[in-house]
Amino acid sequence: MVDVAKLKEIARETVSRDDVKYLIGWRQGTFGFRAAPHFVNKPEDVDQLIFSPLCSHNLATYLTGVEKLPVPRGQEADSRKVALMVKGCDSRAVVLQLVEQGYGRDSVVVIGCPCQGVVDQKKVEAKYPDMGENITAEWGEKTIIFNLPSGKTEVPREEVLAGKCLTCRYPNPLLADAGAWEEVAVWGSDDYADVQDLEAGNPQERRAFWEDKFASCIRCYACRNVCPMCYCEDCILDRLNPQWITRAVNPTENTAFHLSRAFHLAGRCIECGECERVCPVDIPLMKLNRKLTKEVRENYDYEPGLDPEAKPLQASYRPNDKEDFIL
């Protein structure tokens, strides 16, 4: 588990370094069961940092969005490092961004935070509705402890954890320069039951399932914008010349949009579940992403975000790769 006091001490030391621009972590939100990203550039702001079951955001998304504005004449670019707090799934995003050369290893300081699971906001808000006050939470022994206005209450963690945490294989950071932690046990199990349930249906049933889900899409692009692996400066989904996908909101274009994203993430999705968390119409996007993750894992024995020295899937050809599934 994470020693929050030691975590703050490490954060304070990191922010005080001359070669660090700022640190990105989490702080308590202003409403209900929420935390918020926290940008720290002064040692005194470290006291607001938290690490709790409310810290669901994958902060690696911000690393590829670090300011890249033109430097005014006579000034030099700020080449200082950015420090980042990461959970296990977040660290996989950092590893894969490094593999894809989204930035250099010498431009980031990674602070590891082993995770025992983060809550699903929709589950806890349904369980405790109309909770307008600030709620804090902590991990208990196989429970999540909420500090409600009426007092502390313990809930079995399976009841309120995000779906990604129930299948998490890597709760401990896979890459870290510093950490205030002892490793936590891998307690989730991943037999891809969620994917297999859908695979069991016939093609017509699967098509009907996704047509129903995609019909509700409002094309807000929240899933793309929050994804740590969707950082292309020139996104094909935005192109107007040539226009591959129109911006019309209808089942055909919505399907094309989501399938394009899913295949772009094949062998790249690190299963952080951010796309599904932010979807305002509750499309089960991780079912789609995890289907491709399952295929890549079974057919190529490849999992993204585990080794910063590895090659991307598309560049990791091996003569003994299976071919019996290729049409």
Cα 138 from Cα 4, distance rounded (Å):
11
Same domain, 148 and 246: no
Residues pairing with 108 in the sheet: 82
Would you state the structure tokens that stand for residue 229, as one six-digit string? 């692996």
Q: How many residues does the chain have?
A: 327
Least-confidence region, from 10-14, 179-183, 240-244:
179-183
203-215 and 251-264 helices, crossing angle to 10°:
100
Q: Is 321 part of a structural domain of the chain? A: no
**Residue 75 CB: number of other CB atoms within 10 A?**
8
Cα 39 from Cα 45, distance rounded (Å):
9
Same domain, 209 and 165: no
Same domain, 114 and 198: no
pLDDT on residue 58 = 97
Cα 224 from Cα 231, distance rounded (Å):
9
- pTM: predicted TM-score of the whole model, two decimal places: 0.91
Same domain, 168 and 43: yes
pLDDT on residue 276 = 96
- Sequence-distant contacts of 184-189: CB under 8 A, at least 24 apart: 184/1, 184/114, 184/115, 184/116, 188/117
pLDDT, tens digit (0-9, with 9 covering 90-100), for 64-98: 887 666 778 888 878 899 999 999 999 999 999 99
Q: Is the pLDDT of residue 2 over 90?
A: no
pLDDT, tens digit (0-9, with 9 covering 90-100), for 96-130: 999 999 999 999 999 999 999 999 999 999 999 88
Mean pLDDT throughout 290-319?
90
Q: Is the pLDDT of residue 307 over 90?
A: yes
pLDDT on residue 68 = 66
Is the Cβ–Cβ distance between 155 and 165 less than 8 Å? Answer: no
Same domain, 170 and 287: no
Q: Is 323 part of a structural domain of the chain? A: no
Confidence label for 154 from pLDDT (cuts 50, 70 and 90) = very high
| End-of-domain residue from the set 155, 179, 203 | 179
Quote the mean pLDDT of the chain: 91
Same domain, 206 and 274: yes
Q: Is 197 part of a structural domain of the chain? A: yes
Specify the DSSP class assigned to residue 61: G
Residue 304, sorted as left (phi over 0), alpha (psi -120 to 50) or beta, turns out to be beta
Same domain, 84 and 22: yes
Confidence label for 239 from pLDDT (cuts 50, 70 and 90) = confident
pLDDT, tens digit (0-9, with 9 covering 90-100), for 251-289: 899 999 999 999 999 999 999 999 999 999 999 999 999
Q: Is 185 part of a structural domain of the chain? A: no
Mean pLDDT throughout 225-250?
87
Same domain, 58 and 170: yes
Q: What is the CA radius of gyration of the chain?
A: 21
Same domain, 174 and 197: no
Q: Is the pLDDT of residue 55 over 70?
A: yes
Same domain, 260 and 153: no
Q: Which phi and psi angles does 83 have, rounded to 5°?
A: -95, 145
Would you state the structure tokens that stand for residue 28, as one six-digit string? 């308590």
pLDDT on residue 247 = 81
Residues pairing with 146 in the sheet: 137, 153
Same domain, 92 and 241: no
| End-of-domain residue from the set 110, 144, 179 | 179
pLDDT on residue 67 = 67
Confidence label for 327 from pLDDT (cuts 50, 70 and 90) = low
Which sign does the torsion angle of CA 121, 266, 115, 196 carry? Answer: positive
Cα 144 from Cα 184, distance rounded (Å):
15
pLDDT on residue 325 = 67
Residues sharing a CB contact under 8 Å with residue 265, sequence separation 6 or more, in sequence order = 227, 229, 230, 289, 292
Site of tokens 């954890």: 161
251-264 and 285-300 helices, crossing angle to 10°:
40
Q: Which domain holds residue 130?
A: 4-69+78-179
Number of domains comprising the chain: 2
Q: Is 326 part of a structural domain of the chain? A: no
pLDDT on residue 264 = 93
CB-based burial label for 311 (10 Å; 0-12, 13-18, 19+):
exposed
Same domain, 139 and 44: yes
Q: Is 256 part of a structural domain of the chain? A: yes
Is the Cβ–Cβ distance between 35 and 56 less than 8 Å? Answer: yes
| End-of-domain residue from the set 144, 179, 214 | 179
Q: Is 184 part of a structural domain of the chain? A: no
Which has the closest alpha carbon to 161: 71, 313, 39, 52?
52
Mean pLDDT throughout 241-257?
87
Q: Is 186 part of a structural domain of the chain? A: no
